[in-house]
């Protein structure tokens, strides 16, 4: 029986089988009789395909390209936009673009043949960085200006405020690529069965795959059944990217009339998968004579890569979060998604918000330090509150508990004393950041786009099955959702069945993304369980169904991006303390303390795990995780040169929460899976910057860069460049 407060931790339902190594992932399945597939990809960042020379092909082996898409089929992958092709046709836009798939019965032969395919290119000059993309290096290849997408937001009157400002300062904050490094690499198998196909995949969003790849064969999505296999980590890297893996498999399975399977190695996965968008945010900030902000204009540029796919939505979220946890009197934001010849960027925990949150936090620190003020004292002046206007002219609906969270973190970290005692440049530093994350899809997207549905079925023996499309990828949702149902129905959690989704069996409750699963689908299951409860004892075998309903009175216009972007935000405060080795510039992290508002927690231990992981992943992004792209090629291609932190790099974290139940969430819960990533990098950079006494405006920050700042960096108290 699940009794008492739902927050009390239970043992995860997958804990034992995963610990014992019994859980099977997609590459653990035999898929006997299936052919092996290996992709042939572009080895150049930009060019025309002149010819493809195939080796002599043994019987039973075939090289599949766009020409094998049947008549009426569309060579596209539907990932919000439909510009990303399944197979390159005449030109290639990035290194790693799929040109074809080599298939056949013996894996070694397939690999051997794949390596012997020779592509004859006419190479063109690539644009790799945001600046090169904007400058249309090598000639524009998207929309005549290399701008994939753009948007503009305006609150108040920035021009008038600038005209009255005492001075206007400008600075640029940059962030780099980040690779997901999920434990399990990408893999899938597609098998023809009668008039349809079955796809087995490591994926976050099974319905996305059906919708995305079925147009390749010009069939309806229900003809491409997707069965998600327990997924070993995703972080957004398996939100849309499995479409890129499964599309070629579907076309190949259709041609060969046999199943085709493909599993990536680690190096293959790192080199040829989506990454977090690199960003460049340029601020122009108006200050009055007392140094107060009167207006902030930000230009947000994200490196989108060769195809738009889902990036406009990422850019939107980035722009909506650029004002962070603050209210500035006048705000203007312009966002650009820049086309470059790099692997298309895509979803990654935070979905565009971490970049702008890092930027605004860092910019505020710099404005404070230039005036000799403790960054915390400065940021406090602008904390947003319930009822305040957001960057999209909506209002903050909920209570904002930043003051309470700040108190927890200050007490645990001894911030006040350390901030006072550790002089700037002393080798020791403490930093602090504030961040939020709008839960679920933006605006009314949950109602207008997703229209999530769930079912709850009761069997005669008393067991209850949850039917929805949510996936377990290590985050704990196979425990969270049954716990909600069991708690409402007052039955043991063991009586609740929740299996990996099969799109032919479950209703579409939307993607497992956007921090929406607990907040939105959890509520649907809670509501279904409440509907079931009065009938549970009386009836034997029945189903109840629930659909998402958006609360009335919170309008959103997706064309103008005006209104209530999010009804429930997760909120966070994070402090990080560091010491710098004066000889080697190595940074030792001495302490990490955070407080989060995730509404009422469904399971304390699972949320705690998310905090530990998210905060560390954010610190990795801010410090060691260097992913360079030189001339279109990623330079870090293995786990020994792409450096993710280990638990040895950081001390035990101080983890705190506040209780702030969310009106429309299950038991008051809100989204938090992305929130916990969003702020640690800014706190870390604040701490390092104070410790070395230099202004830092770019991440990642590996040791050699710290040394560079120590030797040549701008003094932390120096004035910021003035526009006027």
Partner 1 sequence: MEEVKCYIPKTLKEALEIKAAHDVIPLAGGSDLMVAHKKTIGLVPEFEKPVMIIRNLSELKGISVNDKGECVIGAGCTAAEIAADERCPWHLRQAASRMGAIGLRNSATVAGNIANASPKGDTPGPLYLLDARVRIASLRGEREEKVSDFIVKFREIDLKQDELITQIIVPLSEDDFDYIFWHKVGTRKANAISKITVSQAIRFADDGKTVADYRLSATATGAMTNRSRNVENLLIGKEICDKTIEDVVNGFDAVISPRAMPEFRREATRRMIRRFLSEAARRPQNKVIDTYDDYHVTGQPEPRECRHKKGACHG
* Closer residue to partner 1 (CB): 166 or 628: 628
3-state secondary structure 286-330: EECCCCCEEEEEEEEEEEEECCCCCHHHHHHHHHHCCCCCECCCC
Give the helix, strand, coil percentages of the chain, each rounded to 5. 30, 25, 45
**Rounded (10°) CA dihedral 631, 637, 641, 644:** 110
Write the burial class of residue 539 (CB in 10 Å: 0-12 exposed, 13-18 middle, 19+ buried).
exposed
Total binding residues toward partner 1, as defined by CB under 8 A:
32
Window 549-588: contact mask with partner 1 (x via CB under 8 A): ------------------------------x-xxxxxx-x
Q: Which one, of 351, 25, 346, 42, lies nearest residue 212 by Cα?
A: 346
CB of 715 to partner 1, least distance (A): 15
Nearer to partner 1, 529 or 706 (CB): 706
Under rule CB under 8 A, residue 167 binds partner 1: no
- Closer residue to partner 1 (CB): 419 or 518: 419
Choose between 5 and 641: whose C-beta lies nearer to partner 1: 641
Looking at beta carbons only, is 460 or 583 nearer to partner 1?
583
What Å distances lie between residue 378 and 290, 293, 723, CA to CA? 12, 10, 22
Give 506 or 576: the residue with its C-beta nearer to partner 1: 576
Closest distance of CB 229 from partner 1, Å: 17
Rounded Cα distance between 464 and 486, Å, is: 9
Pick between residue 602 and residue 616 the one whose CB is nearest to partner 1.
616
User: Do 422 and 503 meet the contact criterion of CB atoms below 8 Å apart?
Assistant: no
**Stretch near partner 1 under the rule CB under 8 A, chosen from 210-218, 260-268, 363-371, 378-386:** 260-268
How many whole angstroms separate alpha carbon 608 and alpha carbon 596?
10
Whichever of 111 and 404 has its CB closer to partner 1, that residue is: 111
What is the pattern of x (binds partner 1, CB under 8 A) and - over residues 414-433?
Answer: -------------x------
DSSP string, 229-262: ---S--TTTTTSHHHHHHHHHHHHHHHHTS-EEE
Phi and psi of 296, rounded to 5°?
-135, 125
What angle do helix axes 604-622 and 680-692 make, rounded to 10 degrees? 50
Name 691's bridge partners: none
- Cβ of residue 595: shortest distance to partner 1, in angstroms? 23
Instruction: Give every CB contact of residue 579 below 8 A, 6+ residues apart in sequence.
Output: 427, 428, 429, 587, 588, 590, 691
Q: List the one residue from 268, 407, 499, 604 that touches partner 1 (CB under 8 A).
A: 268
Q: How far is the CB of 583 from partner 1 (least distance, A)?
A: 4
List the interface residues with partner 1, window 591-650 (CB under 8 A): 624, 640-641, 643, 645-646, 648-649
Shortest spacing between CB 106 and partner 1, in angstroms = 8
Q: How far is the CB of 581 from partner 1 (least distance, A)?
A: 5
- The minimum distance between CB 639 and partner 1, in angstroms, equals 9
Per-residue DSSP letter, 448: I
Interaction residues for partner 1, span 6-65 (CB under 8 A): 27, 38
d(CA 43, CA 268): 13
CB of 312 to partner 1, least distance (A): 35
| Nearest residue (CB) to partner 1, 423 versus 505 | 423
Nearer to partner 1, 265 or 416 (CB): 265
Contact letters for partner 1, residues 90-119 (x by CB under 8 A)? -----------------xx--x--------
The residue to which tokens 């925990």 are assigned: 349
Task: Find the helix packing angle between 604-622 and 353-370, rounded to 10°.
Answer: 70
Work out which of 43, 145, 170, 703 binds partner 1, going by CB under 8 A. 703
Contact 265, 185 (CB under 8 A): yes
| Residues engaged in binding partner 1 (CB under 8 A) | 27, 38, 107-108, 111, 263, 265, 268, 427, 579, 581-586, 588, 590, 624, 640-641, 643, 645-646, 648-649, 702-704, 707-708, 711
């Amino acid at each position: 029986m699940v009794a008492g407060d739902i927050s009390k931790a239970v043992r995860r339902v997958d804990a034992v089988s995963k610990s014992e190594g019994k859980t099977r992932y997609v590459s653990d399945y035999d898929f006997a009789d299936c052919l092996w597939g290996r992709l042939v990809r572009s080895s150049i960042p930009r060019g025309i395909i002149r010819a493809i020379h195939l080796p002599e092909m043994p019987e039973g082996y075939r090289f599949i390209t766009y020409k094998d898409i049947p008549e009426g089929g569309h060579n596209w992958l539907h990932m919000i936009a439909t510009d990303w092709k399944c197979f390159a046709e005449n030109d290639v836009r990035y290194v790693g673009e799929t040109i074809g798939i080599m298939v056949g019965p013996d894996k070694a032969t397939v690999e051997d043949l794949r390596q012997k395919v020779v592509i004859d290119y006419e190479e063109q000059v690539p644009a790799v960085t945001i600046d090169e993309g904007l400058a249309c290096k090598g000639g524009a290849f998207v929309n005549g200006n290399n701008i994939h997408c753009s948007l503009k937001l305006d609150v108040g009157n920035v021009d008038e405020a600038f005209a009255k400002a005492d001075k206007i300062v400008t600075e640029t904050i940059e962030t780099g690529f980040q690779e997901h490094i999920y434990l399990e690499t990408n893999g899938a198998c597609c098998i023809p069965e009668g008039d349809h196909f079955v796809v087995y995949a490591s994926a976050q969003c099974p319905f996305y795959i059906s919708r995305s790849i079925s147009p390749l064969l010009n069939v309806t999505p229900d003809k491409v059944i997707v069965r998600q296999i327990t997924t070993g980590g995703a972080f957004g890297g398996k939100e849309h990217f499995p479409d890129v893996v499964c599309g070629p498999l579907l076309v190949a399975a259709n041609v060969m009339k046999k199943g085709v399977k493909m599993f990536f190695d680690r190096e293959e996965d790192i080199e040829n998968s989506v990454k977090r968008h690199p960003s460049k945010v340029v601020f122009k900030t108006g200050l009055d004579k007392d140094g107060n902000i009167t207006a902030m204009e930000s230009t947000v540029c994200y490196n989108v890569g060769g195809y738009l796919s889902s990036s406009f939505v990422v850019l939107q979220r980035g722009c909506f979060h650029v004002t962070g946890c603050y209210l500035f009197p006048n705000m203007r934001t312009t966002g650009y998604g820049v086309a470059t010849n790099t692997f298309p960027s895509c979803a990654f925990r935070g979905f565009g918000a971490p970049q702008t949150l890092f930027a605004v936090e860092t910019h505020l620190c710099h404005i404070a330090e230039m005036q000799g003020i403790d960054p915390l004292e400065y940021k406090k002046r602008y904390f947003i509150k319930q009822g305040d206007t957001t960057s999209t002219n909506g209002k903050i609906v909920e209570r904002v508990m930043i003051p309470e969270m700040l108190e927890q973190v200050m007490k645990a970290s001894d911030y006040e004393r350390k901030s006072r005692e550790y002089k700037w440049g002393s080798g020791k530093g403490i930093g602090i950041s504030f961040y939020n994350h709008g839960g679920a899809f933006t605006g009314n997207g949950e109602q207008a786009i997703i229209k999530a549905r769930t079912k709850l079925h009761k069997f005669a023996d008393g067991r209850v099955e949850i039917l929805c499309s949510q996936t377990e990828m290590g985050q704990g949702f196979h425990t969270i959702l049954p716990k909600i149902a069991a708690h409402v129905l007052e039955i043991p959690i063991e009586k609740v069945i929740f299996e990996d989704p099969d799109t032919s069996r479950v209703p579409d409750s939307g993607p497992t993304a956007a921090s929406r699963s607990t907040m939105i689908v959890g509520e649907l299951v809670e509501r279904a369980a409440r509907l079931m409860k009065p009938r549970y004892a009386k009836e034997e075998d029945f189903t109840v169904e629930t659909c998402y309903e958006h609360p009335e009175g919170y309008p959103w216009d997706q064309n103008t991006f005006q209104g209530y972007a999010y009804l429930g935000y997760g909120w966070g405060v994070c402090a990080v303390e560091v010491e710098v080795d004066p000889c080697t510039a190595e940074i030792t992290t001495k302490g990490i303390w955070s407080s989060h508002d995730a509404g009422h927690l469904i399971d304390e231990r699972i949320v705690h795990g998310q905090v530990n992981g998210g905060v560390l992943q954010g610190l990795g992004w801010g410090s060691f995780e260097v992913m360079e792209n030189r001339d279109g090629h990623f330079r870090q291609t293995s786990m020994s040169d792409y450096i993710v932190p280990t638990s040895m790099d950081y001390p035990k974290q101080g983890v705190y929460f506040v209780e702030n139940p969310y009106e429309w969430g299950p038991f008051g819960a809100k989204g938090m899976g992305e929130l916990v990533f969003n702020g640690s990098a800014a706190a870390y950079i604040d701490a390092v910057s104070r410790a070395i006494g230099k202004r830092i405006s770019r991440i990642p920050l590996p040791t050699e860069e710290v040394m560079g700042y120590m030797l040549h960096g701008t003094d932390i108290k120096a004035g910021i460049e003035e526009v006027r």
